[in-house]
């Protein structure tokens, strides 16, 4: 079922997962549409593009507790359907697999907000089905194939981030100090790009300090003033 705000099936399913009896669904506060208004918090489910909600989030945090939910896809099955009939044509497993560090591809847009006392960011680890249709209207990268929907297959786990210690726990224990993005990538088993987005977000949030350089690499150290 597609939600009333032209949302994907994935968004609608996650909203239902977080809904509690008595919640106001798709209510409005301060002119903003809210996925779930609960007694003690607002729940916003964002499947992509945190940059589009920067102003909204900052405004809401002035007077409300907000839980910002973001799905991390551990497994994606790509389902291809026929353009006219919707008939199932094929299903295959995507080779791409996300991890918790993919969260920072979005948090780079709001580093100044991640330690706000009213904000909790929750990564929800899922398996999903991505529905595609060869209708000639999609991205040239997919040769015109459109992604027409994303559906929830399974919820595997969740992990919440609210404090400095929550975020800093993502730095491996055997990470040298100071460390480079190359060090973080190697120790965490992630790409250099993910490491860069992580350290950028941490620096802008005041969790890390730039303490020098090693060749062309920035050296990072934990900011001793960060609250734990």
Domain locations along the chain: 9-162, 172-228
Q: Enter the pTM of the model.
A: 0.89
pLDDT for 113 equals: 98
Q: How far apart are the first and last CA of the chain?
A: 42
Where the chain has pLDDT below 70, the residues are 1-7, 136, 138, 140, 224-228
What is the pLDDT at residue 225?
52
Residue 228's pLDDT is what?
A: 42
Task: Decide if domain 172-228 falls under CATH 1.10.10.10.
Answer: yes
Tokens representing 199 are 């350290």
Please tell me the distance from the alpha carbon of residue 114 to that of residue 30, in angstroms, as a whole number: 21
pLDDT, residue 191, reads 97
Burial 175-212 (b: 16+ CB within 10 A, else e): beebbbbebbbebbebeeebbbbbbbbbbebbbbbeee
């Amino acid at each position: 079922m597609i939600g009333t705000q032209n949302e994907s099936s994935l968004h609608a399913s996650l909203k239902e997962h977080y809904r509690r009896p008595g919640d106001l669904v798709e209510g409005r506060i301060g002119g903003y549409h809210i996925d779930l208004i609960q007694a003690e918090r607002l729940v916003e489910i964002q499947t992509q593009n945190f940059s589009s909600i920067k102003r909204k989030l900052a405004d809401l945090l002035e007077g409300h507790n907000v839980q910002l939910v973001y799905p991390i896809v551990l497994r994606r099955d790509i389902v291809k359907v026929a353009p006219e009939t919707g008939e199932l044509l094929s299903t295959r497993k995507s080779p791409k697999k996300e991890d918790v560090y993919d969260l920072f591809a979005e948090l780079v847009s709001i580093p100044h907000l991640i330690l706000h006392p009213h904000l909790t960011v929750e990564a929800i680890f899922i398996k999903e089905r991505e529905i595609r249709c060869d209708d000639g209207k999609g991205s040239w990268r997919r040769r015109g194939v459109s992604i027409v929907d994303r559906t929830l297959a399974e919820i595997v786990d969740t992990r919440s981030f609210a404090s400095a210690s929550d975020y800093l726990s993502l730095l491996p224990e055997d990470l040298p100090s100071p460390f480079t993005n190359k060090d973080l990538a190697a120790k965490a088993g992630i790409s250099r790009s993910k490491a860069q987005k992580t350290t950028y977000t941490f620096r802008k949030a005041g969790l890390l300090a730039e303490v020098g350089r090693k060749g062309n690499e920035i050296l990072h150290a934990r900011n001793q003033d960060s609250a734990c």
